[in-house]
Amino acid sequence: MSGSDLFEAAGLSKRAPQPLADRLRPTRLAEVVGQDQLVGADGTLTRMLRSGRVGSLIFWGPPGTGKTTVARLLAAETDLAFQQISAIFSGVAELKKVFEQARGRRQVGQGTLLFVDEIHRFNKAQQDAFLPVMEDGTITLVGATTENPSFELNAALLSRAAVLVFRPLGPEALDLLLSRAEREVGRELPLDPDARALLVRMADGDGRAVISLAEEVWRAAGEGERFDAARLGAVLQRRAPIYDKAADGHYNLISALHKSVRGSDPQASLYYLCRMIDAGEDPMYLARRLIRMAVEDVGLADPQALVVCNAARDAYHMLGSPEGELALANACLYLAAAPKSNAAYLAYKAAARTAKEAGSLPPPKHILNAPTGLMRDEGYGAGYVYDHDAPDAFSGQDYFPEGLPRQEFYRPTERGFERELAERMRLWDRLRRERK
């Protein structure tokens, strides 16, 4: 049997009018996989339907998690007319047309569930257009977005809709979809267990993607051929991770990296660094963030941390990719394994706050230079003690402005190099008291 015959036998003909993913689309909410928190026996949507009250909703979640499917099924469950538009292709004129159609249905006693895909693509004025028709019941809005609604949708719209979170599909849910695909096609996937697990990982939580990848496997497999993980990787290459450098994927991963470094977990820190590199993050952004971690979370507990991070940045400039990424990895591991102190960070914030609140207080005159006679007559420099001439090279003079009591911004920890700094500062405090 030729490859094309196998292709036909598997029900994957190029002439097939309906993609496999559409053929597998659930017909009941109970068939939706991976979203039990919404459509399970005690899920949020299940309880709403049971109460008979379903208001406007925002579905937030990554691609391929069932947002469109659930919206369609929700309309069927509530006897609402289902209408779908995409914010990518729609403007105010089309919205007005849709609203007029919904008003017409309302006059004959039927409501409208308006599903708006990519609703975050609408600007503020376009989002505001939904408010009156949501308030008077002309439409029940269900908006779908992959972006954080808190940042992308205006407050007025969010106040009129409940946000429901769709989760990435887990391995069990994705494997269930593969089993459904096999039943629909009438043929098992030609994969050994390791290859099947790899296929699930490649889908990256996306149900539509796992079915599309399965279709590619059926198309690529010859008669009697069975793929192992290595062969599958060669056939499918790789799927780009879900990652938008201007959106949640970016901020979530950099947050995870920063907190893993702060939490002194080199293994997790390196994992998140590699996730971001693999997703195509700008290496200089990563270098800048590592430098920030060095000064914020390691600080003076290990002054070499900043040196290492700056050197890693310079090494990347010199080596480029992929060799330069190893320098970033070295810096990441160094930071995660370093002693931690945010004492300098807290001291800076406290000093900045005092500097702002205390106003323009002049420094004490004894530490001001007196290059002119007039300034000497005014007392500039009078009584200043050159510290190198004092015992222990420490005079103990007061350097704060008159009217501002001595402040204690920096409190070094007893970790790493700061232990030595703390010891020095205790010595100076004792000498300062003795020499008053």
Mean pLDDT, all residues of the chain:
89
Q: What is the pLDDT of residue 244?
A: 60
Q: What is the pLDDT of residue 3?
A: 47
Angle 67-78/44-51 helices, nearest 10 degrees? Answer: 10
**Looking at per-residue confidence, does 18 or 274 come out higher?**
274
Q: How many domains does the chain have?
A: 4
DSSP state of 191: B
Which residues, including other chains, have CB under 8 Å from residue 337's CB and lie 6 or more apart?
264, 266
For 260-318, write each residue's pLDDT tens digit.
999 999 999 999 999 999 888 889 999 999 999 999 999 999 999 999 999 999 999 99
Which residues, including other chains, have CB under 8 Å from residue 418's CB and lie 6 or more apart?
299, 300, 301, 339, 341, 343, 412
Same domain, 217 and 299: no
380 within 8 A of 368, measured Cβ to Cβ: yes
pLDDT-derived band at 321, boundaries 50, 70, 90: confident
pLDDT-derived band at 238, boundaries 50, 70, 90: low
Q: What is the pTM of this model?
A: 0.65
229 within 8 A of 191, measured Cβ to Cβ: no
249: its two tokens: 């994927």
90: its two tokens: 């729609």
> What is the span of the domain harbouring residue 420?
355-434
Which residues, including other chains, have CB under 8 Å from residue 62's CB and lie 6 or more apart?
146, 166, 168, 205, 206, 242
Same domain, 160 and 270: no
Same domain, 183 and 129: no
**What radius of gyration do the chain's Cα atoms show?**
32
Find the CATH number of the domain harbouring 277.
Answer: 1.20.272.10
Same domain, 283 and 186: no
Find the CATH number of the domain harbouring 409.
Answer: 1.10.3710
Q: What is the pLDDT of residue 13?
A: 52
Same domain, 45 and 145: yes
68: its two tokens: 């469109």
Same domain, 64 and 186: no
Instruction: Look at residue 30 and tell me if it is in a domain.
Output: no
Same domain, 141 and 40: yes
Q: What is the pLDDT of residue 5?
A: 53
